[in-house]
Amino acid sequence: MIKNYLILACFLAGTSLVHAHARPKDVKEESSKSPSGNSGSMVEVTVSGTVKAEDGSPLPAVNVIEKGTSSGTATDANGKYVITVTDGNATLIFSFIGYATQQVPVKDRTTIDISLQPDLAMLNEIVVIGYGTQLKKDVTGAISTVKSDEIAKRPLVRLEQALQGTAAGVVVTSQNGQPGQGLRVKIRGANSITGSTEPLYVIDGSIGSGSDVNVSDVESIEVLKDAASAAIYGSRGSNGVVLITTKSGKSGKMKINVESWVQKAMMPKKLDLMNAYDFARSVNNQFSSTGQTPPFSASDLQSRHRLAEGTS
């Protein structure tokens, strides 16, 4: 081939003719073929359908994306979607939080209905952050989570007791020593001298208090400890936010759980205290021993003695 080029160059030397080498025909035809092996332009296909959960209910806001492209859409409130793909050989990707992602080939179909299955491994790693959900690994330093399994291990009476010793950075103390009294919860320490340091309680999206929910009905508790919670709830979340998710019904056979709890408060030992008459006599003896005038007169002692006889 090189020898032929040299001979041709010598032959054309001194003339106005120019030699041009054409590109092989097979290379040109191969480059004009489409990825599917067919020559010509690709035909777009419009695909529609419905996305449902495992129980048959429609799933809204499910992401539907054509694989390998940025073209996508989302299902409406009834779980329906419409998307235009490049050709009949495209693949659709269906994804939704808490459900396993599915890839479905179009295969020249115009209607594709699918049912998404829950991804239990993903559900265990999702926590509530106030305005939605987020993977727990992304917010480990800002959120403490207490699940119902941890709550069931201890005989708890109040919701605040579930946070005691289970959530890092949360301090739970008793207001006083009286039985049945409420507990004081501090997430960021004492932020105010005169104001309240209690966190904001959000129960299934509604503002409430820890005493508004039965501890046996709690599915999970998330404690928002970082300052970002103030961006969601404003100044009310300056002391931290406790998000409470209660248990809800599940599909399947009927299941009844019965729990009983009995509490009895009593004094471990009753002290033998003085009545009013004995107290007055004791004070008079104390004053007399120091040379002072007794504060209670004889008439005062008699009146108190009559009262003591009626109450003894």
The superfamily (CATH) of domain 45-118 is: Carboxypeptidase-like, regulatory domain (2.60.40.1120)
- Cα 183 from chain centroid? 24
Q: What is the pLDDT of residues 140-198, one digit of tens each?
A: 446 778 888 888 888 787 888 888 888 777 888 877 766 666 778 888 777 667 777 78
**CA-wise closest residue to 130 among 115, 143, 116, 111:** 143
108 versus 236: the higher-pLDDT residue is 108
CA distance 42 to 237: 55
| Class level of CATH domain 125-246 | mainly beta
Q: Where are the alpha helices (DSSP H) in the chain?
A: 2-12, 25-31, 120-123, 148-152, 229-233, 276-289, 298-311
- Cα 230 from chain centroid? 16
Delimit the domains of the chain by residue range: 45-118, 125-246, 276-311
- The answer on pLDDT for 73 being more than 60 is yes
- The answer on pLDDT for 4 being more than 80 is no
pLDDT at 20: 47
- Cα 267 from chain centroid? 42
Q: What is the pLDDT of residues 15-43, one digit of tens each?
A: 545 444 444 444 344 434 444 444 444 78
Q: What is the pLDDT of residues 275-307, one digit of tens each?
A: 888 889 999 999 999 989 999 998 888 888 887
CA distance 152 to 157: 11
Q: What is the pLDDT of residues 122-152, one digit of tens each?
A: 555 566 555 555 555 445 446 778 888 888 8
CA distance 308 to 189: 49
Q: How much of the chain, in percent, has pLDDT values that exceed 90?
A: 23
* Residue 47: band (very low, low, confident or very high) from pLDDT cuts 50, 70, 90: very high
Dihedral, CA of residue 101, residue 104, residue 110 and residue 116, to nearest 10: -40
